Amino acid sequence: MIPSSVNRTSRWLAVPLLSAAVATPALSQEDPIKVGILHSLSGTMAISETVLKDTVEMLIEQQNAQGGLLGRELEAVVVDPASDWPLFAEKARELLAQEEVDVIFGNWTSVSRKSVLPVVEELNGLLFYPVQYEGEESSENVFYTGAAPNQQAIPAVNYLMNNVGVERWVLAGTDYVYPRTTNKILEAYLKDEFGVAEDDIMVNYTPFGHSDWQNIVSEIKEFGSEGKKTAVVSTINGDANVPFYRELGNQGIDAADIPVVAFSVGEQELTGIDTAPLVGHLAAWNYFMSVDTDANYDFIDAWIEYTGDEMAVTNDPMEAHYIGFNMWAEAVRKAGTTDVDAVKDAIIGVSVPNLSGGYAAMMPNHHITKPVLIGEIQDNGQFSIVWETPSTVAGDAWSDYLEGSRDLISDWRKPMECGNYNVVKGSCGGSEAQEEVASADE
């Protein structure tokens, strides 16, 4: 492994230089269209992200089977940022600067997106982000195909309030930005819209991978014995869910007493849980594997065939990639080129079918329209859909329920071209305008 002839430090320094130099060939028209995939294949997030990498690879395969795009073949460029946030930025730079990919599908966690964001903006790339997130962001170079809070959290709370009659709320989440923001929005929403008292809301944060839920579940039980219908809104992330639900089941909290509605638990997560004690707990998503449409069944069949696993499941972020990929392909066709600026302009307004029988359209704020579904967990690890919004909901980058962002809107069409336009001040509050002002002053 280590060539024994090398005994000078200089050789080691020279290696990366040479390899870097070799890896930058000029692109010609005959070259394939490069699609970067930036999902963790190792580390803590591999559990969620690996299937997304497979999804994009499958979509690329399907597209190539149909003759590619603009007569060119698509080629996947896969890198592993290894659940390491600085590495995400580095790998994004590698994809854009070294590999010169035309588009990136990637990221799961908020922090990885935040890490990649400056790179994508600096190098003018395209990033499709497929996961539900906290909002409060709208970048010119990022397309958010997952749900914003108003496409998941708020409808779910409406459902609990109106259809289940919940009066007391536990907002439990993992301590990071998505739960923090979502819970802040929900708290404000519950108080402003429904007049829920401070006493009737309990907020609780736990660290990543929290595994001992005894105390918290016991507290929730106590909180729920006040004689008012109580529900838990869970933004608990990934691995912490299994022990959480187990503890719920074992302490005898069933869905009829205190339902839990989760925003981060999908079919994928449920494959690791014995769902029998969880039947009836809820999740809010924009897609469930159990959606009864032909498009969905076809997608599932293709997925099972692709993975070779009869028991393979699909989930919401996979649908988001499905939508995002098709939108991007459509925009490339429309623009007739993979040029980032052209695709960015062309994609706004593009509408493609989703898997739940409707259409998803790209809005000027780089978010898409989605139906909101509430599902109850079944004992086979699937959700049965108990409620859905009558029509699709457009994603809102800036929440109406947060002090700082109430007045902000995002519109990337000309002439506004601003991700955080302040309607009260009538100016673009973000960096570009300020920078122009600043540089004009100098």
Partner 1 sequence: MKIPPCLRRMLVLCLLACLPLAANAQDDDGQQLLESLDASSYAQMGVAIEAIITSGDERSRGWLEALLGGKLQRHKETGRFVVVLENRGRDWPVVDALTGEALGEMSRRDLDRLGINNALRGQLQGALAVLDLQADGVSERRQAARALLGDVDATLAEPLTVVIDAEEDAEVRRLLQQALAIHRLEEGDLAAVDALAGSLNSRVRSALNTASRSEDPGLAAAATSALADIEQKMKLNRGLETLYFGLSLGSVLVLAAIGLAITFGVMGVINMAHGELIMLGAYTTWAMQQLMPGQPGLAMVLSIPAGFLVAALAGIAIERGVIQFLKGRPLETLLATFGVSLILQQLVRTVISPLNRTVVTPEWMSGSIMINEGLSLTLNRLYVLGFALVVFAGLMLVMRRTRLGLEVRAVTQNRAMARSMGIRATRVDIMTFALGSGVAGLAGVALSQLTNVGPNLGQNYIIDSFMVVVFGGVGNLWGTLVAGLSLGVINQVLEPWAGAVLAKILVLVFIILFIQKRPRGLFPQKGRAAEG
Partner 2 sequence: MWLTRPFRERSTQLFLGILLAALATVTLLNLMLPAGHPLHVSTYTVTLLGKYLSYALLAVAVDLVWGYLGILSLGHGAFFALGGYAMGMYLMRQIGDRGTYGDPVLPDFMVFLDWEALPWYWLGFDMAWFAFLMVLLAPGLLALVFGFLAFRSRVTGVYLSIITQALTFALMLAFFRNEMGFGGNNGLTDFRELLGFDLRSDATRLGLFLATGIALALGYVLCRAIVASKLGRVSVATRDAEARTRFLGYRVERFQLFVFVVSAMLAGVAGALYVPQVGIINPSEFSPIFSIEIVLWVALGGRATLYGAVIGAILVNYAKTVFTGVMPDAWLFALGGLFVLVTVLLPKGIAGLLAYRLTPRRLKRKPAAQSSTPGEASA
Contacting residues toward partner 2, per CB under 8 A:
1-2, 4, 7-10, 12-13, 15-17, 19-22, 24, 26, 41-42, 78-82, 84-87, 89-91, 93-94, 97-98, 109-111, 114-115, 117-119, 122, 136-137, 175-177, 180-181, 184, 205, 207-208, 402-405, 408, 419-420, 422, 429-431, 434-435
Please give the order of strands across the beta sheet that includes 230-235: 201-206, 168-174, 230-235, 260-262, 282-285, 373-377, 383-388
> Quick one: 172 or 282, whose CB is closer to partner 2?
172
- Does residue 209 interact with partner 1 by CB under 8 A? yes
Strands 369-370 and 142-144, sheet pairing: unpaired
Residue with tokens 């008292």: 197
> Quick one: 123 or 304, whose CB is closer to partner 1?
304
In the three-class reduction of DSSP (H, G, I as helix; E, B as strand; rest coil), residue 63 is classed as helix
Q: Which does 180 bind (CB under 5 to 8 A by kind): partner 2, partner 1, none?
A: partner 2
Q: 179: cis peptide before it, omega within 30°?
A: no
Q: In degrees to the nearest 10, what's the CA dihedral of 274, 278, 283, 289?
A: 50
**Phi-psi bin for 349: left (phi > 0), alpha (psi -120 to 50), beta?**
left
> Quick one: 190 or 253, whose CB is closer to partner 2?
190
CB of 307 to partner 2, least distance (A): 15
> Quick one: 97 or 304, whose CB is closer to partner 1?
304
DSSP letter string over 225-273? GGSS-EEEEEE--GGGHHHHHHHHHHTT--TTTS-EEESS--HHHHTTS
Q: Which does 214 bind (CB under 5 to 8 A by kind): partner 1, partner 2, none?
A: partner 1
CB of 12 to partner 2, least distance (A): 6
CB of 251 to partner 1, least distance (A): 6
Q: How many residues are present in the chain?
A: 442
How does 67-76 read in b/e, with b if 16+ C-beta sit within 10 Å?
A: ebbeebebbb
Q: Which does 210 bind (CB under 5 to 8 A by kind): partner 2, partner 1, none?
A: partner 1
The Cα–Cα gap between 289 and 166 comes to: 27
Q: What is the largest CA-CA distance in the chain?
A: 78
Strands of 54-136, DSSP E: 74-79, 103-106, 127-129
Long-range contacts, 328-333 (Cβ 8 Å, 24+): 328/103, 328/126, 328/128, 328/143, 329/63, 329/69, 331/362, 332/33, 332/69, 332/70, 333/69, 333/70
> Quick one: 310 or 441, whose CB is closer to partner 1?
310
Task: Give the gyration radius of the chain's Cα atoms.
Answer: 23
> Quick one: 42 or 163, whose CB is closer to partner 2?
42
Contacts of partner 1 in 224-253 (CB under 8 A):
224-228, 239, 242-243, 246-247, 249-252
Contacts of partner 1 in 139-168 (CB under 8 A):
163-164
- Does residue 210 interact with partner 1 by CB under 8 A? yes
> Quick one: 142 or 248, whose CB is closer to partner 1?
248
- Does residue 305 interact with partner 1 by CB under 8 A? no
Residue ranges that bind partner 1, judged by CB under 8 A: 41-42, 44, 46-47, 50-51, 163-164, 175, 204-207, 209-212, 214-216, 218-219, 221, 224-228, 239, 242-243, 246-247, 249-252, 255-256, 259, 268-269, 271-274, 276-277, 279-280, 282, 292, 297, 300-301, 304, 310-311, 376, 378-382, 384-387
